[in-house]
Amino acid sequence: MADKKAPPQKTLLLIDVDCGTDDAQAIMMAVAAPNVKIVGITCVGGNTPLENVCKNVLRVLQLCDRLDIPVYKGAGTAILGHNINASDFHGKDGLGDVPDPHAPGLELLQKEHAIDAIKRITNQYTGKITLVATGPLTNLALAIRMDPTIPSKLRSLYIMGGNMESRGNTTATGEFNFLADPEAAYIVLNEYSCPTYIATWEHSCRSKLPWEWYDQWVNQGTKKSEFIKKIYAHSLQYSRSDKEEKAIVGGPGFVSCDSYAMAAAIDPSTVTKVIQCGVTVELDGKFTRGMMVLDLIDELKLKNKISVMDGCDMEKFKKLMEATVK
């Protein structure tokens, strides 16, 4: 009698977030995906101060009945200490300023520091971890400084951040995550040798969803759709305004930036096209600090060639988004 086929192994995800609204939605997407196992979530300051990030992650996990997933507190400041935040867009607490009186407290955080957790988990699951980073890359940069072997032990790295056509969303040429810690982004892009994929600001904007779809998505009547609707209400007053929609590449629509990196990690076939080249970050420019640089002519002779996402299968992406709120 033939042996039954073993069930396919789940993708092991380690997620690094600065939990604003789109990070929350990306975490929910990962929780909903049947083919992945989340081994941990590490927190970094960014969209909102670090303590808020930690609270927000725990709040999302409570919503999803997944407080069994370990959460680790990481770096609260950029490598050079010049912090920025996105409280105007995400709300002062990072989740639209709609607090939950029953949200879990910080006592549920793991005692282990995020950097130590990244080191331990990559060593424990050598060659099996897919790392998804949806905030400033401070934790990742500090981790490689403490253990230079980490990239060689990762299966892959998916990043939301940077830009590929010098279009900024925080400065004229700077995307928030990279601008929040340019030195960290520089270290990661130049020193992480594992297969690396980047969902840039422009890629996210070109893969936006119609507002009609969004309105149906958040009105499903589930506790998750209600949560999404509440936390996004603050930011939507900006993103649905005429000024914001004219500034966004490709016209009107809903953009959940971090979800594109998460979707690609869960199902790589959601990415239909990539630009593969050396990538670095400008550190010194008066107008271009934090801007991602694509070396399309190999002028810099960078050893690591990174896959910059340049196309999204919108039907597959929609299905992952729709599973998020069920």
Q: Which of 18, 22, 23, 258 is catalytic?
A: 18
The two three-digit tokens of residue 116, written as one number:
């130590």
SS3 65: coil
Are the C-beta atoms of residues 18 and 46 closer than 8 Å to each other?
Answer: yes
65 noted as active-site residue: no
Residue in this structure with the two tokens 């996210």, named with its chain if needed? 204
Single out the residue of 81, 323, 85 nearest to residue 225, CA to CA: 323
SS3 217: helix
Residue type at 312 in one-letter notation: C
Beta strands 274-281; 306-309: pairing state: antiparallel
Q: Alpha-carbon distance 246 to 253, whole Å?
A: 11
Strand order in the sheet with 36-43: 71-73, 36-43, 11-17, 129-133, 154-160, 196-199, 306-309, 274-281, 292-295
Phi and psi at residue 325, to the nearest 5°: -105, 10
Cα torsion 139, 140, 142, 147 to 10°: value is: 130
Q: Is 75 exposed, middle or buried (0-12, 13-18, 19+ CB in 10 A)?
A: buried
> How large is the greatest C-alpha to C-alpha distance in the chain, in angstroms?
70
Q: Residue 261 gets which letter from DSSP?
A: H
Q: Alpha-carbon distance 105 to 62, whole Å?
A: 11
SS3 209: strand
Catalytic residues: 18
